[in-house]
Structure 1
Amino acid sequence: MSLQLVRLLQLASPALPVGAYTYSQGLEWAVESGVIRDEASAGRWVADLLEHGIGGYEAPLVAALIAAWQADDHAEVARLDADFLASRESAELRAETAQMGFSMRRLLRDLRDDSLAPVLAVTDAQPEVAFPTVWAGIAARWQIDPDAALCAYLWSWAENQVMAALKAVPLGQAAGQRLLARLGRRIVEVAAAARQRPEARWSNFTPAFAIACARHETQYSRLFRS
């Protein structure tokens, strides 16, 4: 278990060279518009997205991707990858996951880990691949517990959102840690619910989020790429 834990920490680390820190996923526009203005409003925004956005669609999809990789069901991996790419609500969001997927695919080569060769072979056959597809493949090949992997995936997303809020609002470091502590308690519940959610009930219907992402594309002054 010790090696799996270390590998999981590596996958969840902000040092992962995929450029996640350059994206806010619409949060920057929410700050610009005044929807997010302080710690409390930032917490509401991220928590709502955690539960109703990423928790309702991306999280169960990641769980399904891990299971597909474990079963060597490459057709299912390709189907889920195409579904995720099609689900992106704006041009920036689609470019984000494609760019991060490209960077993860490059990392597969740079790690020089023979156990990851099947993931590279499958993803290299696709013209573009979504970030969660490659991430889930690495988690599966490294034999990381699926429950722990999903919690780590959600934690990494939440941490990136909080870091974006710290820069854009801005908020202090203590506020960021309070937000992460509250979000951390919810992540376990969201991950557990996601793993039990049948595909017919997957949904990322979050209109305010979609509007924020679309409007960010024409925002005049910005720090982030989405």
Structure 2
Amino acid sequence: MSLALARLLQLASPALPVGAYTYSQGLEWAVESRLVHDQATAGEWIGGLLEEGIGRFEAPLTACLQRAWIAADLGEVTRLNDEFLASRESSELRAETLQMGYSLRRLLHDLDDFTVPAALDALPETAFPTGWALAAAAWQIPLADSLTAYLWSWCENQVLAAVKAVPLGQTAGQRALLQLGGRIPAIVQRALLLPEAAWSNFAPGLALASSLHETQYSRLFRS
């Protein structure tokens, strides 16, 4: 268990060289438009996406990807990878997951004692959740733990983007993370049980923010 935990901490670390810190997923535009302007509005924006966007689609899909890798169900891996790519509603969101997926795949190839299955390299395009789920499966990380870390890593990156863009103080950022982190266990449990027919990535605010960010004049982030 301690080795699996160590591997999970490595996978969820901001030091993972996939470039996550360069993306805000539309949050920068929300700051520019003053929809997000302080700790409270940042928490509302990030928390809303956590509950109704990533928590209802990306989280259950990532869980199913890990199950598919464990079962060596390569057809299901391909289907879910394609479904996630098709769900990206702006060119920036699609480019983000492809760049991070590519970087994670390259990293896994470079790690000692990690065998990258041919099925991953056979994918024409690799979404980030697909590579993440593979690593979690290969390192025998319990599904609930890996999904918790996945959501935590997403929240942490969003809060760090808010700290830079609003800007928020470091203490305000930690307060936001405490509040967001407290919501993750229930979201994980729901995601693990949510049937695919009930998945939903209906988040028009995110889609609009991401699309408008593409033409934003001054930008710190790539999305």
TM-score range for the pair, normalised by the shorter chain length: over 0.9
| Residue 165 (1) aligns with residue 162 (2) | yes
2:201 pairs with 1:215: no
- 1:36 is paired with a residue whose SS is coil
Tell me the alpha carbon deviations over residues 66-94 of structure 1, each in whole angstroms, 9 at most, x when there is no partner. Answer: 10001000100000000000000100000
Gaps of 5+ in 1: none
Q: Which runs of 4+ in 1 moved over 2 A?
A: none
- Specify the alignment match of 1:117 in structure 2: 116
Structure 2 CA distance, aligned partners of 1:183 and 1:73?
A: 33
Deviations 1:122-156 (A, max 9, x none): 11112210000011001001000000000000000
CA RMSD of aligned residues (A): 0.6
2:78 & 2:39 partners in 1: Cα distance? 39
Which residue is 1:12 aligned to? 12
Cα separation, 1, equivalents of 2:12 and 2:200? 24
Following superposition, the deviation at residue 112 of structure 1 comes to 2.5
Counterpart for residue 105 of structure 2: 105
Aligned with residue 125 of structure 2, among 125, 128, 131: 128
Is 1:196 matched with 2:208?
Answer: no
Q: Secondary structure at the match of 1:117?
A: coil
Letter of the 1:175 counterpart: A
Any stretches of 5+ residues in structure 2 without a counterpart? none
For 2:18 and 2:116, how far apart are their aligned partners in 1? Answer: 19
In structure 1, how many angstroms separate the alpha carbons of the residues matched to 2:123 and 2:194? 28
Is 1:176–2:170 an aligned residue pair?
no
Measured after TM superposition, the shift of residue 61 of structure 1 is 0.2
Give the TM-score, by structure 1 length.
0.98
Q: Deviations over 1:90-139 (max 9, x none)?
A: 0000000000000001001110224x332xx2111122100000110010
| 2:87 corresponding residue in structure 1 | 87
Q: Write the distance in 2 (CA, Å) between the matches of 1:107 and 1:205.
A: 32
Distance 2:72 2:205 in 1: 37
Q: Return the offset for 1:159.
A: 0.1
Quote the residue 1:51 is aligned against: 51
Tell me the residue number matched to 1:64.
64
Quote the sequence identity (%).
Answer: 66
Q: 1:149 aligns with which of 139, 146, 151?
A: 146
SS of aligned partner of 2:183 = helix
CA distance in 2, matches of 1:192, 1:139: 18
SS in 2 for 1:180: helix
Work out the CA distance in 2 between the residues paired with 1:113 and 1:104. 15
